[in-house]
């Protein structure tokens, strides 16, 4: 029996093989991984043999870059295998050891190659420009031109070596947060009419969607009691992560952590500011939606734990994993048979680790590498419609990786997260359209409209709130304001009040949410979800309303990998993210959905 049907969370060894991903394209087993690590470690010392040669000739530079590419391709396989095994079960000491061994090896390699970038940048401009004209360096054009752009922020060889040696230590806050919240925390069980059920990072969403308000409240408060008991530890971990961001930005001569985070993608800081200001301007629409929810749920006091229960709660929305794959495949047919067949075969044939198990990382992600399959971690629950959309979302990431790795050389196949969130949310838009077109009555349509509103809320409004919090906390740190439990909670509470508006009661424990977001340990990441859905709404409409040209332009975007900066790549697809227009267009859709929901729910649903 698949783990999706169990009321208890199984141990990893009890998960059926058919429900696990197949990592054999990375390494056939742990023994093969260890042999790969030995090979990697044996080759790292050879990097230094290239020192002092890079500016002597094109062939010398090419030889070094080829060697590094071979080593880094192996390193990527080693890293993905180790991290994916760790994400299966972070409590397994062998998985912990494997990640640690890889981090030691990767740190050594980073230290050994620390001379490469400064030495290339020291080549005389005229000589380097002549090198760039040589076909021998064709696969390295993008890397070299981006490296030249980074010149003001690359340090001396000795300084780069020191930064490289810190690589493993810099993971401490993030790894400790993950171990604490995913492994050590015990949230207990919740009594339900079907008997006690375990409360976890993954199952919380199911409880909060339950129509029984007392059950929602119990789960919510019990969940945050655990965070409250460890609030000082988590606040210290997050403050340490922010301090590290500030240190690294200053070490590399950036004016701020945000400037450092946005520079590699060549994203102007105005894009970040435009997102926050445009969303802030449209908060009355969000408050209008909360007011509607409060009315339809018949509540005198609307609280945050009421925010996830579907307004149309008695519409059947249960999908087995296999049925979810078929729905997604049917919805994505406008993208053609190659796309759909490849994705379907992957979702059913070893790309996906499907269900929750003890010690498994919460949430979902796609991990696309150059050599392996574009793997997907899920904690799929068949009674949560959002998980069908999540599978479509992660499938978008994976297909982006599939096209990128087949149309680019290793040095620049990897696209940015800014672009990735477009491909993933694009798929969600097509799935929604497909389901809406087949809604057989106005109740089902209202259910899906409610789902879409909640989706835009979660991806655009909520992620923008997260982005604003990140920017505020980093600015506090950079200006000398201490990051304490109280300052972090009060900052987050002010944003809860701003975004939720006057009709929502903010409970005492609600501001603890700011301490539980894993993405905060990867600074200035979450805003890309918000820009991604804005671009995806615009692009999906463009492709569905257009013809072969619009679809081909979208595929050109998927195939571009890391060959362009993200805003340039999206321009190829037909959307200009340097302006607030795509965000405003998404807000227009949000307003239209609320108006339709008001109309549909006025029919006595």
DSSP string spanning 404-448? Answer: HHHHS-GGG-PPPHHHHHHHHHHHHHHHHHHHHHT--SHHHHHHH
CA distance linking residue 109 with residue 114, whole number of Å: 8
- Give the model's pLDDT for residue 4: 42
Dihedral (Cα; 167, 168, 172, 175), 10-degree rounding = 110
Q: For the chain (length 605 residues), average pLDDT per consecutive 10? A: 58 95 97 98 97 97 98 98 96 95 95 92 91 95 91 86 87 93 93 93 89 95 96 97 96 96 94 96 96 93 92 79 97 96 97 96 93 96 88 96 97 90 90 90 86 91 97 97 97 97 93 94 92 92 91 95 93 92 94 94 64
- 189-192 and 365-367: which strand pairing? unpaired
Cα 374 from Cα 395, distance rounded (Å): 9
- The Cα-based distances of 570 to 73, 193, 280, 416, 556 in angstroms read 27, 49, 24, 12, 10
Sign of CA dihedral 420, 423, 427, 429: positive
CB 232 within 8 A of CB 485: yes
Tokens coding 302: 């609307």
Q: What is the pTM of this model?
A: 0.79
Q: Smallest Cα–Cα separation from 436: which of 581, 273, 297, 589?
A: 589
pLDDT at 2: 44
Q: Secondary structure of the chain: what % helix, strand, coil (to 5)?
A: 70, 5, 25
N-to-C CA span, the chain? 37
DSSP 365: E
How far apart are the C-alpha atoms of 411 and 544, rounded to whole Å?
Answer: 33
Of 110, 74, 141, 116, the residue nearest 412 (C-alpha): 141
Two tokens, residue 325? 């794959």
Q: Look at the block and give the residue holding tokens 């922020």.
A: 153
Residue-level pLDDT at 5? 43
The position carrying tokens 């909360």 is 290
Provide the 8-state DSSP code for 361. P
- Phi, psi torsion values for 501, nearest 5 degrees: 80, -175
Residues annotated as catalytic (active site), given as ranges: 394
**For residues 585 and 164, is the Cβ–Cβ distance under 8 A?**
no
Going from the N-terminus, what domains does the chain have, and what CATH number goes with each? Answer: 3-167 (1.20.140.70)
SS3 204: helix
Tell which residue, 398, 396, 399, 322, has the closest CA to residue 354: 322
| Residue 366: strand pairing partners | 376
The string of DSSP codes covering 274-306 is: HHHHHHHHTHHHHHHHHHHHHHHHT-SSEEGGG
Cα–Cα distance, 177 to 375 (Å, whole number):
24
Nearest alpha carbon to residue 392 among 459, 457, 310, 443: 459
């Amino acid at each position: 029996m698949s783990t999706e049907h169990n009321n208890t969370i199984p141990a990893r060894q009890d998960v059926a093989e058919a429900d696990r991903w197949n990592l054999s394209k990375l390494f056939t087993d742990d023994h093969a991984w260890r042999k790969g690590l030995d090979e990697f470690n044996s080759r790292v010392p050879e990097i230094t043999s290239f020192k002092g040669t890079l500016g002597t000739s094109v062939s010398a530079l090419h030889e070094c870059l080829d060697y590094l590419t071979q080593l880094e391709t192996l390193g990527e396989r080693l890293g993905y295998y180790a991290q994916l095994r760790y994400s299966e079960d972070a409590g397994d000491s062998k998985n912990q050891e494997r990640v640690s061994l890889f981090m030691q090896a990767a740190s050594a390699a980073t230290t050994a190659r620390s001379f490469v970038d400064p030495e290339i940048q020291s080549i005389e401009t005229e000589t380097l420009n002549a090198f760039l004209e040589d076909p021998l360096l064709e696969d390295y054009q993008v890397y070299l031109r981006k490296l030249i752009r980074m010149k003001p922020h690359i340090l001396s060889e000795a300084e780069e070596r020191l930064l490289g040696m810190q690589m493993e230590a810099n993971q401490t806050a993030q790894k400790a947060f993950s171990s604490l919240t995913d492994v050590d925390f015990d949230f207990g069980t919740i009594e339900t009419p079907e008997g006690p059920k375990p409360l976890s990072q993954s199952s919380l969403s199911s409880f909060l969607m339950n129509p029984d308000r007392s059950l929602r409240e119990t789960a919510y408060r019990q969940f945050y009691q655990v965070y409250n008991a460890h609030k000082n530890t988590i606040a210290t971990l997050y403050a340490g992560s922010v301090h590290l961001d500030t240190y690294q930005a200053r070490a590399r001569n950036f004016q701020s952590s945000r400037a450092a985070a946005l520079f590699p993608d060549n994203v102007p800081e105005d894009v970040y500011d435009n997102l926050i200001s445009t969303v802030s301007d449209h908060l009355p629409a969000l408050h209008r939606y909360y007011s509607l929810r409060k009315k339809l749920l018949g509540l005198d006091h609307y609280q945050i734990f009421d925010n996830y229960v579907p307004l149309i709660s008695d519409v059947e929305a249960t999908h087995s994993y296999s049925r979810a794959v078929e729905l997604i495949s049917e919805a994505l047919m406008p993208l053609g048979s190659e796309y759909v067949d490849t994705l379907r075969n992957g979702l059913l044939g070893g790309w996906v680790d499907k269900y929750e198990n003890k010690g498994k990382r919460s949430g979902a992600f796609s991990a696309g590498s150059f050599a392996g399959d574009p793997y997907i971690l899920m904690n799929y629950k068949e009674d949560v419609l959002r998980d069908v959309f999540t599978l479509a979302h992660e499938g978008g990431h994976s297909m982006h990786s599939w096209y990128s790795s087949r149309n680019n050389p290793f040095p620049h196949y990897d696209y940015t997260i800014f672009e990735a969130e477009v491909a993933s949310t694009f798929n969600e838009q097509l799935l929604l359209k497909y389901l809406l077109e087949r809604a057989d009555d106005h109740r089902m349509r209202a259910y899906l409209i409610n789902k879409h509103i909640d989706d835009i809320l979660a991806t655009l409004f909520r992620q923008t709130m997260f982005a604003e919090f990140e920017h505020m906390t980093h600015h506090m740190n950079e200006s000398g304001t201490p990051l304490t439990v109280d300052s972090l909670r009060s900052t987050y509470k002010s944003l809860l009040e701003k975004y939720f508006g006057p009709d929502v009661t903010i409970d005492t424990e609600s501001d603890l949410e700011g301490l539980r977001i894993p993405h905060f340990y990867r600074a200035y990441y979450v805003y890309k979800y918000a820009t991604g859905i804005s671009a995806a709404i615009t692009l999906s409409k463009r492709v569905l309303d257009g013809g072969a040209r619009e679809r081909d332009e979208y595929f050109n975007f998927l195939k571009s990998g890391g060959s362009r900066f993200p805003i340039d790549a999206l321009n190829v697809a037909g959307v200009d993210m340097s302006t607030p227009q795509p965000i405003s267009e998404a807000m227009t859709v949000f307003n239209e959905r609320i108006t339709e929901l008001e109309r549909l729910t006025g029919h006595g649903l």
